[in-house]
Amino acid sequence: MPEFRPFRGIRYRRDDLDAVTAPPYDVIDPDQRDALAERSEHNSVRLILPGEGDGYARAAELLHTWETHGVLAQDDQPAFYSYRMTFVDDTGHRRSSVGVLGGLVTPRASGEGDVLPHERTLPKAKSDRLALLRATRVNLDPIWGLTPVTGLAAIAGRAVHLARTIDDDGVVHELGAITDPDSITAIQAIVGDAPIVLADGHHRFETAIAYREERRAAGVVESGDDAVMCLIVELAEEHLWVQPIHRVIRGVRSATGLRLSLARRFRIVDAAPNTPDGVKHLMATLRTKGGVGLVDGEGLARLVADSDDLETARAQLDPALTEVPSAWFEVVAGDALEDLDITYRHDAVAIAQMVVSGTADAAILLSPVTVEQIRAAAKARVRMPQKTTFFAPKPRTGLVFRSLDE
* pLDDT tens-place string over residues 321-352: 999 999 999 999 988 998 899 999 999 999 99
The DSSP H or E segment spanning 203 is helix 202-218
How far is the C-alpha of 27 from the C-alpha of 393, rounded, in Å?
Answer: 11
pLDDT at 125: 59
How far is the C-alpha of 114 from the C-alpha of 3, rounded, in Å?
Answer: 9
Please report, for residues 28, 175, 308, the alpha-carbon distance to residue 289 in angstroms, rounded to integers and kept in the order given.
33, 40, 18
SS3 224: helix
In the chain, what percentage of residues exceed pLDDT 70? 98
pLDDT at 406: 77
Report the number of secondary-structure helices (H) and strands (E) in the chain.
13, 21
CA dihedral 401, 237, 90, 344 (to 10 degrees): 60
pLDDT at 352: 97
pLDDT band at residue 317 under the 50/70/90 scheme: very high
DSSP-derived pairing of the beta strands 246-250 and 341-345: antiparallel
| Greatest distance between any 2 Cα atoms in the chain | 66
pLDDT at 122: 64
- Which range scores top for mean pLDDT: 104-118, 295-309, 375-389? 295-309
* pLDDT tens-place string over residues 70-109: 999 999 999 999 999 999 988 788 999 999 999 999 998 8
Mean per-residue pLDDT of the chain: 93
- Percent helix / strand / coil, the chain, rounded to 5: 40, 30, 35
Whether residue 44 is predicted with pLDDT greater than 80 in this model: the reply is yes
pLDDT at 338: 86
How far is the C-alpha of 144 from the C-alpha of 390, rounded, in Å?
Answer: 11
Read off the pLDDT of each residue in 235-245 and give the average, rounded to a whole number. 91
pLDDT at 326: 95
Whether residue 123 is predicted with pLDDT greater than 70 in this model: the reply is no
The DSSP H or E segment spanning 138 is strand 138-139
8 A C-beta contact, residue 396 and residue 170 = no
pLDDT at 134: 96
How far is the C-alpha of 167 from the C-alpha of 285, rounded, in Å?
Answer: 30
The DSSP H or E segment spanning 188 is helix 181-191
pLDDT at 290: 94
DSSP-derived pairing of the beta strands 160-166 and 241-244: unpaired
User: Where do the structural domains in the chain lie, given as residue ranges?
Assistant: 4-241+392-403, 246-365
Whether residue 124 is predicted with pLDDT greater than 60 in this model: the reply is no
Distance of CA 9 to the CA centre of its chain: 22
How far is the C-alpha of 376 from the C-alpha of 215, rounded, in Å?
Answer: 34
Please report, for residues 8, 273, 290, 306, the alpha-carbon distance to residue 296 in angstroms, rounded to integers and kept in the order given.
50, 10, 19, 21
pLDDT band at residue 381 under the 50/70/90 scheme: confident
Between 378 and 253, the higher pLDDT residue: 253
SS3 34: helix
pLDDT at 202: 86
Between 98 and 384, the higher pLDDT residue: 98
> Angle CA(233)–CA(235)–CA(386) in degrees, nearest 5?
90
Lowest mean per-residue pLDDT among 78-87, 120-129, 238-247, 380-389: 120-129
